[in-house]
Amino acid sequence: AVGGASHMGRRDIADLLVSKGARLDIFNYAFLGYDEFIMKLLTDYPNLLKAPGPHGFTLLHHANVGDRGNLASWLQEKGLTETFIKGVFG
């Protein structure tokens, strides 16, 4: 559920779910504004840059819906141009 809230841009729902114990992943962190954490993680594990997220939405999508302009620019500089990867799940 927290993944859905994140890729739909619903911080209110994501915050509620986290307050109830929902676990976060890299896509949630990108949406919620943990820019430095995402940059460090991708520097250490660059293969995650183009990893598909929930329903095929990428880190760039999550940064955009979270209004994380600096992170979105950094992701694009690193080579991530897609916001959605079609056909990931069938």
pLDDT score at 89: 67
Does pTM surpass 0.85? yes
Q: What is the CATH number of the domain that holds 46?
A: 1.25.40
Neighbours of 53 (CB within 10 A): 23
Whether 90 is in a domain gets the answer no
Residue 47 lies in a domain: yes
pLDDT above 70 as % of the chain = 98
Instruction: Find the domain containing 20 and state its range.
Output: 2-77
Residue pLDDT, tens place only, 1-45: 999 999 999 999 999 999 999 999 999 999 999 999 999 999 999
How many domains are contained in the chain?
A: 1
In a domain, 83, yes or no: no
